[in-house]
Amino acid sequence: MPERCRGRRAEIAARMAHTLGRPVTYVPVQLDEFRHTLERRGLSPHKVQHLVAVAVDYRDGIFAGSNDLVRTIGGEEPLGVEAFVEKNRAFYETHTA
């Protein structure tokens, strides 16, 4: 995620809402509740474990700062919030809280 967005969850939600054309609200939840929601949505155990681990790292500031790893490793520029949501619009249109 671009540095200008990192840590600004309400702003990210607002940008998602603008892109999707519907309300999106950031609501903090405990990790157990997050895990349960992912499991209830039918995600694989591997994906649940990965996303919970990412949430822990995000919470703990592991992703603070910026680097060029997406470009260096993946060979592409990172997507901004709006581009990521647009690319994954089908997911966001079928999944709500």
pLDDT band at 8 (very low <50, low <70, confident <90, very high): confident
Would you say residue 61 lies in a domain?
yes
Angle made by CA atoms 7, 87, 59, in degrees to the nearest 5: 20
Would you say residue 39 lies in a domain?
yes
Parent domain of 17: 9-94
pTM of the model: 0.72
Would you say residue 1 lies in a domain?
no
The number of distinct structural domains making up the chain is 1
Would you say residue 4 lies in a domain?
no
Would you say residue 77 lies in a domain?
yes
The reported pLDDT for the residue numbered 43 is: 93
Would you say residue 32 lies in a domain?
yes
Would you say residue 2 lies in a domain?
no
Q: What percent of the chain has pLDDT over 90?
A: 63
Contact at 8 Å (CB) between 50 and 56? Answer: no
